[in-house]
Amino acid sequence: MASKRTGGEPLSAYDKALGLLVRREHSARELKSKLARKGLDADASAAALADLQAKDFQSDARFGEMLVRTRIAGGYGPRWILAELRQHGIAEDVAQELIAAAEADWPALVRDLVRRRYGVKSAANLAERAKRANFLMRRGFDAHTVQSITRTEGLGSADELD
């Protein structure tokens, strides 16, 4: 059932999309999908989205920046973030630029993530090290970074990685 205005008429695609954008940033693909699930006309939704983009209320670049910052803060690596940006319809080159612009210190992020999840103790054996490496790979970190962190005895400064 569609939401209604105070006067009783249903919300337009523009109003519905604007209401979604007020809560948080959305990609254009995500907005189209949500409007379609609510049963709104595809042409009206496309026109509403074009209008919102013209007014800079919806921006895939701004959405991408927000998503990259949020995922980095959540302990996700560049591969995970890149895949998620692709799912939202962000072009590969734009996604790569957004990740690079974040200037994340990936090794420091991995060390912090390992500390939070496993404490400061080194892996007791090869199986434990593999378990940690698999966790980090599933989080979207590249093999080189994961290997350099999981093979170190301590999880101190970056100087210990050499």
What is the CATH number for 20?
A: 1.10.10.10
Residues 131 and 97 reside in one and the same domain: no
Q: Is residue 132 part of a domain?
A: yes
Instruction: Name which of 115, 27, 31, 11 is nearest 66 in CA terms.
Output: 27
Instruction: Decide if 2 is inside a domain.
Output: no
Specify the DSSP class assigned to residue 5: -
Please tell me the distance from the alpha carbon of residue 106 to that of residue 128, in angstroms, as a whole number: 21
More confident residue, 56 or 151: 56
Of the candidates 89, 91, 23, 96, which has an alpha carbon nearest to the alpha carbon of residue 57? 23
Is the pLDDT score of 161 beyond 70? no
In this structure, are 127 and 145 located in the same domain?
A: yes
Quick check: is 3 in a domain? Answer: no
Give the number of domains in the chain: 3
Share of the chain above pLDDT 70, in %: 88
Q: Write out the residue range of the structural domain in which residue 84 sits.
A: 60-101
Q: Of 2-6, 62-66, 69-73, give the lowest mean pLDDT range.
A: 2-6
Kindly state whether residue 44 falls inside one of the protein's structural domains: yes
Q: Where are the beta strands (DSSP E) in the chain?
A: none
Reported as a pLDDT band with limits 50, 70 and 90, residue 124 is confident
CB distance 55 to 37 below 8 Å: no
Question: How many Å apart are CA 28 and CA 17, to the nearest integer?
Answer: 10
